[in-house]
Amino acid sequence: MAVVPELAGMYGQRLPVEDYLLQPDQVSRIQAARRALVVRCMRSKGIDFGFPAAAGPHSSNAGKTQSEMRYVTPPEVAAKFGYHSPDGQGQAPESPGLPKATEEALFGKDGKSGCYAEVDEDFDRRALLVQDAESVVAINIDNMARSMEDPRMKAAFALWSGCMKARGYAYGTPMEASADPRWIQRPTATPEEIATAVAHTSCMTETNIVGTWFAVESAYEQRDIEAKAAELAAYKTVIENTLRFADSVLAQP
């Protein structure tokens, strides 16, 4: 394992798998192209259809890398939202249901065809993607799970737990704190939740869990990346081809 850095958060840091994950701005480009193609498909069927205007970003994480969203909530977010996600706070109410003919054109009578399926099948024929490859997602998720079972992380969690105990909170790991069932009983954070989340982030900094976690998980990821070097190199080309295609779609009127 590389030298453990001192990190309060993941700003500016990238896990090795990040090179093979779609970044938020890339996802936005691909999905915007997908929506544009669905609209064109609908018009070809004689249906004037448009997607509702996208809401502005609600999250303080909007536009950041996937790595920067990992391990710990930024202190300013914890102080405002507790363990609740900033995404969805203040969202507009749901729009009314679609007319039956429009819904069938979009999804088919079986829910598995229609314009969405046609567009996604076209992406597939072109060997393009609409989301991260399963093999990359596995590297991203499986190694986080492995890292949490690593003795070095268990020792780090024990330090964090001791820090929380000194503040009056009894949690064995950060995951236990964020998954406390009390937090999901209300749509927004209570003062108790916010106080717990603030202590949580403070103890993460004091015990350098983020630095340890980043080093441990990076080592696990690098092992898998080296084992799948050829596959992942090919996948990077797929990402580049997909983004070029998405941009060409969006450039059309």
**In this structure, is residue 30 part of a structural domain?**
yes
Residues 138 and 232 in one domain: yes
Residues 185, 113 within the same domain = no
Question: How many separate domains does the chain show?
Answer: 2
30 and 123 assigned to the same domain? yes
pTM of model > 0.85: no
Residue 222 per-residue DSSP state: H
Confidence (pLDDT) at 62: 46
Q: Which residues of the chain have pLDDT under 50?
A: 55-63, 90-95
- State residue 54's pLDDT score: 59
Is 122 among the domain residues? Answer: yes
In this predicted model, what pLDDT tens digit does every residue of 58-115 receive, in sequence order? 444 444 677 887 898 889 999 999 999 886 554 444 445 789 999 999 999 887 899 9
Residue 86 lies in a domain: no
Q: Which domain holds residue 167?
A: 132-237
Q: Quick one: 127 and 157 in the same domain? A: no
What pLDDT does residue 63 have? 45
pLDDT for position 96: 58
